[in-house]
Amino acid sequence: MTNPALIRNFSIIAHIDHGKSTLADRVLQLTHTVAERDMVEQVLDSMDIERERGITIKAQAVRVMYDADDGNTYQLNLIDTPGHVDFTYEVSRSLAACEGVILVVDAAQGVEAQTVANALMAMNAGLEIIPLINKIDLPAADPERVKHEIEEGLAIPADEAVLASGKTGEGVRDALEAVVRLVPPPTGDAGAPLKALIFDSYFDTYRGVVALVRIVDGTLTRGMKVKMMATSTVTDVEEVGVRRPANTPVDLLGVGEVGYLITGLKDPALVKVGDTVTLAKGGATEPLPGYRDVKPMVYTGLYPIDGDQYPDLRDALERLTLNDPALLWEPESSHALGFGFRVGFLGLLHMEVVKERLEREFGLDLLATAPSVEYHAFLTNGDTLSVHSPQDMPDAGKLDRIEEPYLKVTVLVPPEYVGAVMELAEQRRATFKDMQYLSATTVDLHYEMPLSELIMDFFDQLKSRTKGYASLDYEYIGYRESALVKLDILLAGKPVDALSFIVHKDKAYQRGRVLTEKLREIIPRQMFEVPIQAAIGAKIISRETVRAKRKDVLAKCYGGDISRKRKLLEKQKEGKKRMKSVGSVEVPQEAFMAILKVDE
Amino acid sequence: MMGGDPEHTGPPFFAGDDAGHVGADRPPALPRHVYVHVPVCRSKCTYCDFFSLPVDSVPMPPAAIADALLNQTRAWAERGLAVGGVDTLYIGGGTPTMLGDALPGLVSALAIWCEVEQDAEVTVEANPDSLTPALVETLAMAGVTRVSLGVQSFSDAELAVLGRPHDATEARRAAGWVVDSGLALSVDVMCGLPGQDESSWRASVAAAVGCGPSHLSVYPLQVEDDTPLASAIAAGELTVPDEDEVAAMLAAASKMLAAEGFGRYEVANYARPGSESRHNTAYWTGRPYLGIGPGAHGMLDARTARAAGVIVPDGVARVRYGVTPDLREGLGVMPEVEVEYLSGQEAAREDAMLGLRRTRGIDDALAARAGVVQALKSLAAEGLVSRVSGRWAATDRGWLLGNEVFGRVWAGG
């Protein structure tokens, strides 16, 4: 057990691409935590997707031992956090395990949207913030300007900001000195009953659920009986240890320490992020604050392109859920797409990442339908239905009213983009609440808007209309009644369930028209004419036609063209495989995603 | 014997043109059809993705290129194939006429060395800008029987967009020399060109007929990836007629040419009776052919390929090869080749697919051997093919939707 005075728990937070992971790599090297020969880039981002996209999805914790200038050796626990709004809750739990953060800002790019969002989160958590200006080796680096932006935009003193380069390693030692000097050591009551915060978990095939924990009070020892307070699960502690970054067992974890806990539990649903671990007998009466049950915000249908892959998709979802308990799913079927699953996600990035992992790590070819939220349908007979998919929406005749989830949305943006944000918000049925200047360069706008509008590429639109400057945050504020209708798309006279969606009635006509036009472009000409119609109930609101195919290349074919021609035809056949046959109409996958991009 | 329906002219073992071509009792010999690729042009056309280099950039004199092509042909015999009985020789490119005075020598050397038949069809591709009356005369003396003139369009504006190094006047003049020399003339024209409309297309077809050819190749421009034309279209600098317009152009040409006495014997080829290209017909009827020169393709039956020293795995019936498209490598005596193997069934399906390009179509026996009867029945149900007196052939609509027909036949379902 380490004296808490010699422990520092901190996180590194940054806007995407500002060099957070490279900086973490340098910390591991400087403290000899990872041998030179084992060094890979982005050590802490173990998933391929994380490395490629330069994002962090799973939290990580690593313990490094640092010989400081004051002659003491400190135990530094670096907690790497996801940096996306989808994972706000997870980030808040990771930050709750820290006393301080290094706020990394790119020396050329300066303060950006996520810099602000991350800094505000750290401030709200009451953490010590150490600004660090990174990439000072870049020709375009302008640390003085960036210092000014940090002070002006974030109201954080930046005189003493650390100047560093993750690339050259310059300033990394200064950063660790600042952590030792400025981040407060953890405090807690070693004599009190155990209280440990679970800030993330993952599944190990051999050991079951592994929880990453921060000890707040008491000690955690191998062999003790503990209780997960939120799920009232009692279990034995099989192993405790620290991550360096490989799991290294220790006898016990004391106040302020960060490590892992293996209990042998196999069900991730019993070990929840944010829950408090205490003693099974004589444990704490009050859990640590901040726990909540994470609920999916966005739903989509996932279908294998090749129907034979359905069982593989089920297995893959089961496997992923072990590491990602926030993922919820149930079987669903569609006339157009066959058998698949309705899957619930924390947000759009979460959805994208899960889809990509399913495709890459499990070799599946998937089609995702337009995302949806959970609507509450109140029927005239007094019943209430939870609707996760347009297919489940009851007929208008049976409906009394529909409610949809609303958000309080916060947008931070430089003043010159306020107009652009206002315009977008208005298109998305947002109600303006108020705005205020945080500084001369940052305006804080508040809206209330339906979640269903947010998941329709709102974030992308916001980014593109503000040249990437806007930052977005939101919280759920409850259900509100809305005039919603179900819009159906008919191909060759037959409704295609997977193309239906729910939309506000004032926008139905325009959406229907844009979508039929888009589908006309996307659906290739077929052997026969294909009418595309948008309808609300029995009423057709727009119609387009894909004309029958007349000519399909028949260039010359001499000696040298034969192999090439054959390969071309094979490629064409592969292309057809990537389409879905809806009745007799071949529909490319993009058609099912077209609903998402109706603003283009 | 010149002329006559090409599928009735061959010696006995070619008789049934769908019946397969391997004379098991005959010693392995050179294929009866030889294609020689001349890999140089005056300049690169904007739509071309064949292997060919601007002549100025090639560090070899024309005579050296001609020698290398001849040596590569001879090497096949040295590998053990009996020489003789070559029925068609086709010098294509590129632009063979860019070899200038070295070309007649190459043709006569090839003809002599291959021991071409008395009535062989010997074709040379020519571009209007590199043909002269003297060259036509010497080519005729060297044994050439047929000149295929790459004109593509009789609109100067369209020619300019294609990057062709000639105009319509030069094309007419060159065609005149060929006709005057008594050689058979074939003219190529393309529709679907940037800036083309139906009236300029009709004018090109009429002008082509006016040149006095016995054979015409008529096909739509295909925009190939990674060509300057494809970039210009992608950048919005050029637009090409849409598929409906191109379909109308093809139908118009078919009608005009029929009225002039040209029969459509293949999707993209028209001829006066008896003037059908025997060389190209060999491609569409599954006959082996030798490919010589960089970027050239050849096809051999497995037995012949083995006799020539090609390693052929068991179960392979047909070998296709492509000579590496590189000036040095591809002109060598034993050039690098990329080989593709086809099983007996694949070879039959390929024959069925290619046979459906022809007006004659394919017979029941080939359809059965290829395992494509079901595919043909479903295509017939959609009006894309029809079956008349034991033969399956594409309808007019089937020809226009060739990829649908060929694709489903090749897939076998």
- pLDDT recorded at residue A40: 65
- Chain B interface residues (partner A, CB cutoff 8 A): 35, 37, 50, 217, 219-222, 243-244, 246-247, 250, 267-269, 280, 283-284, 289, 291, 295-299, 320, 322, 340, 350, 353-354, 357, 382, 399-404, 406-407, 410-411
What integer best gives the mean pLDDT of chain A?
88
Percent of chain B past pLDDT 90, that is, above it, reads 81
pLDDT at residue B218 tops 60: yes
Q: Which of A11-15, A181-185, B160-164 has the lowest mean pLDDT?
A: A11-15
Min distance A570 CA to chain B CA atoms (Å) = 7
- pLDDT recorded at residue B70: 96
Q: What is the pLDDT of residues A24-83, one digit of tens each?
A: 889 988 998 877 666 666 656 655 666 555 555 566 789 999 999 999 999 999 998 776
- B326 within domain boundaries: no
If asked whether residues B17 and B138 sit together in one domain, one would say: yes
Q: How many CA atoms lie within 13 A of A317 on its CB side?
A: 24
- With left for phi above 0 and alpha for psi between -120 and 50, is residue A382 left, alpha or beta? left
Q: How far apart are the first and last CA of chain A?
A: 58
If asked whether residues B218 and B364 sit together in one domain, one would say: no
What's the mean pLDDT in A179-188?
A: 96
- B165 within domain boundaries: yes
- pLDDT recorded at residue A600: 40
Question: Are the C-beta atoms of residues A150 and A105 closer than 8 Å to each other?
Answer: yes
Contact A565 B357 (CB under 8 A): no
Q: What is the DSSP string of A444-481?
A: EEEEEEEHHHHTTTHHHHHHHHTTT--EEEEEEEEEEE
- pLDDT recorded at residue B15: 29
d(CA A347, CA B410): 45
With beta carbons under 8 A apart, name residues in chain B contacting A560.
35, 37, 50, 291, 295-297, 322
With beta carbons under 8 A apart, name residues in chain B contacting A558.
280, 283
Residue B394 bridge partners (DSSP): B385
What is the domain-level CATH number for residue B32?
Answer: 3.20.20.70
Residue entry with tokens 């997707």: A49
According to DSSP, the β-strands at B146-152 and B184-191 are parallel
Domains: count for chain B: 2
* Candidate from B219, B268, B407 with C-beta closest to A572: B407
Min distance A409 CA to chain B CA atoms (Å) = 40
Phi, psi of B180 (to 5 degrees): -60, -30
Amino acid at B366: L
pLDDT band of A88, cuts 50, 70, 90: confident
**How many helices and strands, by DSSP H and E, does chain A display?**
14, 33
**Number of Cβ within a 10 Å radius of residue A398:** 12
- pLDDT recorded at residue A327: 87
- B163 within domain boundaries: yes
If asked whether residues B138 and B213 sit together in one domain, one would say: yes
Q: Which domain-ending residue is among B282, B304, B329?
A: B282
- pLDDT recorded at residue A55: 54
Contact A551 B280 (CB under 8 A): no
- B291 within domain boundaries: no
Residue A445 bridge partners (DSSP): A411, A435
Percent of chain A past pLDDT 90, that is, above it, reads 50
pLDDT band of B17, cuts 50, 70, 90: very low
What's the mean pLDDT in B195-210?
A: 97
- pLDDT recorded at residue A59: 60
- B399 within domain boundaries: yes
Token digits of residue B138: 């010497």
Residue A479 bridge partners (DSSP): A405
- Helix, strand, coil proportions of chain A in percent (round to 5)? 30, 35, 35
* Candidate from B220, B320, B410 with C-beta closest to A553: B220
- pLDDT recorded at residue B4: 37
If asked whether residues B45 and B145 sit together in one domain, one would say: yes
Percent of chain B past pLDDT 70, that is, above it, reads 93
- pLDDT recorded at residue B372: 95
Contact A553 B222 (CB under 8 A): yes
What's the mean pLDDT in B386-406?
A: 92
- pLDDT recorded at residue B26: 63
If asked whether residues B40 and B183 sit together in one domain, one would say: yes
If asked whether residues B226 and B352 sit together in one domain, one would say: no
Contact A550 B244 (CB under 8 A): yes
Contact B291 A558 (CB under 8 A): no
What integer best gives the mean pLDDT of chain B?
91
Q: What is the DSSP string of A151-197?
A: HHHH----TTPEE--TTT-TTHHHHHHHHHHHSPPP---TTSPPEEE
If asked whether residues B278 and B350 sit together in one domain, one would say: no
What's the mean pLDDT in A417-424?
A: 96
- pLDDT recorded at residue A38: 67
Token digits of residue B238: 């050029």
E-assigned strand segments in B197-302: 215-220, 263-266, 269-271, 290-292, 297-301
Min distance A565 CA to chain B CA atoms (Å) = 9
- pLDDT recorded at residue A42: 62
Residues A60-88 as b/e (b if ≥16 CB within 10 A, e otherwise) read bbbbbebebeeeeebbbbbbbbbbbbbbb
Q: Which of A76-85, A243-252, B252-261, B345-354 has the lowest mean pLDDT?
A: A76-85
Long-range contacts, stretch A458-461, CB < 8 angstroms, 24+ apart: A458/A424, A458/A428, A459/A85, A459/A348, A461/A424, A461/A599
Q: Is this prediction's ipTM beyond 0.85?
A: no
Q: Which domain-ending residue is among B238, B260, B282?
A: B282
Question: Are the C-beta atoms of residues B228 and B238 closer than 8 Å to each other?
Answer: no
Question: Are the C-beta atoms of residues A103 and A18 closer than 8 Å to each other?
Answer: no
Residue A432 bridge partners (DSSP): A447
If asked whether residues B265 and B355 sit together in one domain, one would say: no
According to DSSP, the β-strands at B33-38 and B86-93 are parallel
pLDDT at residue A454 tops 80: yes
Residue entry with tokens 């393709």: B297
Q: What is the DSSP string of B78-143?
A: HTTPBP--EEEEEEEES-GGGGTTHHHHHHHHHHHHTTEEEEEEEEEEE-GGG--HHHHHHHHHTT
- pLDDT recorded at residue A48: 62
d(CA B270, CA B102): 31
Phi, psi of A268 (to 5 degrees): -60, -25
If asked whether residues B248 and B389 sit together in one domain, one would say: no
- pLDDT recorded at residue A556: 80
- pLDDT recorded at residue A83: 63
Contact B297 A562 (CB under 8 A): yes
Contact B220 A552 (CB under 8 A): no
pLDDT at residue B316 tops 90: yes
List Cβ neighbours of B101 (8 Å cut-off, separation of 6 or more).
B62, B135, B138
Q: What is the pLDDT of residues A263-293, one digit of tens each?
A: 989 888 899 889 999 999 999 999 998 888 7
Residues A121-150 as b/e (b if ≥16 CB within 10 A, e otherwise) read bbeebebbbbbbbbbbeeeebbbeebbebb
Question: Are the C-beta atoms of residues B299 and B24 closer than 8 Å to each other?
Answer: no
If asked whether residues B47 and B149 sit together in one domain, one would say: yes
Q: How far apart are the first and last CA of chain B?
A: 41
Residue A306: DSSP 8-state = S
Higher local confidence (pLDDT), A154 or B200: B200
Estimate to the nearest angstrom the gap between the alpha carbon of B328 and the chain centroid: 24
pLDDT band of B84, cuts 50, 70, 90: confident
With beta carbons under 8 A apart, name residues in chain B contacting A555.
219-222, 268
- B333 within domain boundaries: no
d(CA B111, CA B105): 10
Amino acid at A84: H
Min distance B247 CA to chain A CA atoms (Å) = 6
d(CA A481, CA A401): 7
Token digits of residue B64: 């050296």
Residue entry with tokens 């089920």: A314
**Number of Cβ within a 10 Å radius of residue A592:** 23
What's the mean pLDDT in B28-43?
A: 94
Q: Which domain-ending residue is among B247, B282, B317?
A: B282
If asked whether residues B41 and B153 sit together in one domain, one would say: yes
- B380 within domain boundaries: yes
Q: Which residues form the domain of B376?
A: 346-411
Going from the C-alpha of A425 to that of each of A432, A436, A453, the distances in angstroms are 8, 17, 9
Contact B400 A560 (CB under 8 A): no
Token digits of residue A68: 């400081």
Residue A510 sits at the chain B interface (C-beta within 8 Å): no
A270: helix, coil or strand? helix
Amino acid at A170: E
pLDDT at residue A165 tops 80: yes
pLDDT band of B147, cuts 50, 70, 90: very high
- With left for phi above 0 and alpha for psi between -120 and 50, is residue A514 left, alpha or beta? alpha
pLDDT at residue B253 tops 80: yes
- pLDDT recorded at residue B2: 37
pLDDT at residue B344 tops 60: yes
According to DSSP, the β-strands at A247-250 and A239-243 are antiparallel
With beta carbons under 8 A apart, name residues in chain A contacting B410.
566, 569-570
- pLDDT recorded at residue A562: 86
- pLDDT recorded at residue B131: 96
Residue entry with tokens 């001499």: A558
If asked whether residues B190 and B267 sit together in one domain, one would say: yes
Q: What is the pLDDT of residues A111-159, one digit of tens each?
A: 876 788 788 889 988 999 999 999 999 999 999 999 998 998 788 999 9
* Candidate from A557, A558, A573 with C-beta closest to B407: A573
A329: helix, coil or strand? strand
Min distance A549 CA to chain B CA atoms (Å) = 8
A287: helix, coil or strand? coil
What's the mean pLDDT in B33-61?
A: 92
What is the domain-level CATH number for residue B355?
Answer: 1.10.10.10
pLDDT at residue A318 tops 50: yes
pLDDT at residue A421 tops 80: yes
- B237 within domain boundaries: yes
Min distance A585 CA to chain B CA atoms (Å) = 15
* Candidate from A551, A560, A569 with C-beta closest to B400: A551
With beta carbons under 8 A apart, name residues in chain B contacting A573.
407, 411
Contact A554 B268 (CB under 8 A): yes
Going from the C-alpha of B42 to that of each of B70, B91, B95, B98, B285, the distances in angstroms are 22, 17, 8, 7, 33
